[in-house]
Structure 1
């Protein structure tokens, strides 16, 4: 299955159907539907009779049935090791699959190897894959899917045919989401907050985020410290926090420069009234840079609560009125 906004991308893909590379790199923002698109392509590659004109899988042949059941002998998927603390793809996973694709295809067609997300390969795994891409096995296609292709080895990227998968526009995203069973009034917030990405976590800690907004609108020393304590007791990762602060600061800067808010649209009038002249834009940019730098080290053993306090107190100190 592909999503409605991916129809043009599918047409671009099958225009080069006869000249298949040994390796593809499909990339784009997380949450735009890359996995579904690439799985459909993998199924089509293995299909015995792809539909004429569109090259969609027929869904009727033996190969399609095996794929749908998750038991196709010529399809191999490599994902991060669940036992890995950093959620990485290790060399053992790569070697295991590479040993299998050196043999002939079980059904006489293509062998397809899906690696997703490819940027999760550690250095040893990346080097092992690179060696195979330099001398690929016969009748084998590697499908790499990446949310951040800049994190891949440049030598791997150079050996892949690159294919960008774009986001839907707001209308396309809302039309699709409105047909889903979990569509509600919060969907509009989530879509804006995630910059138009249609697939987002429905486990978003909305109450904690609302507490964050309240603190950021009227920051006080005690409320900042209380929030850090509450966040640390509820969530053990800093992913949400750094994302929230970054988007909050970005919205204030946009408001100060006369633009509409990008993420917290429902707070436009409130931010305009309370915060527009409360901070120096240069200071906000400096804090934004600090947040981006610290986010790169979010898995640092430094106490989560302490990291939150540092950012919150830095924000508190910026007020000029």
Structure 2
């Protein structure tokens, strides 16, 4: 009797079915995307380098057992050796330790720029594309003003106005990196706003804000992810440029651009001082480009079989 009384509680299929089906579909889509991504060897190389960057940033104290700011003028400009893998700089600091801790600075800038740029570009682009008219004209003309200046020059202007520092450098780069994201989101929105499913949602009484946030914006996210990934190479180079000019991370914080700046006067006699941070900048920039190219191929619906 007790078993038969409790048996109806087991039948919760109608309530759990849609959610479980959506989860299974999402997992299958992720698995298919990963399988497609793995067919891009250069993309896997880029992903491996990005993973190495993140691991280096997280495990910096375990990887480099030397204080990156410890100075010893008796060991200045030593060549690479078993004790100092990348040599030492003009203050006797271990270059390998500073490169490792410089990965943390790079990850912080990439994270800050991503958090600021992607939402800003998405909101401006989708609002402009869906509203049209005067709103579109005003937002796109502002976007054109930002696009009319070279990114590095504009970032230098913002960084000089905000003052030197890691956070200010990230904000300055973000203020120059959102226009391409907004343009892309606007183009996606223009192709979606007259779609049949948007018309159906509009007839059901959905407000423009709800349509943009719940139906259009999510469909723009894949393209924006690809664009942000591809833009990261430029972000890293711009951050290194700001650090090189003294407007990025400030001493004694280890940052690859500032390391190249301080070591350039010794590079002829001690090339290892600039070689390690310079190669790190080049490798990570290339990694984001390779990963972005592969991700673009994976998320492009025209490449589906």
TM-score normalized by the length of structure 2: 0.23
- Which structure's residues are more often strand, by fraction? 1
- Which structure's residues are more often helix, by fraction? 2
Larger radius of gyration between Structure 1 and Structure 2: 2
Q: Give the number of the structure with larger relative contact order, counting CA–CA contacts within 8 Å between residues 6 or more apart.
A: 2
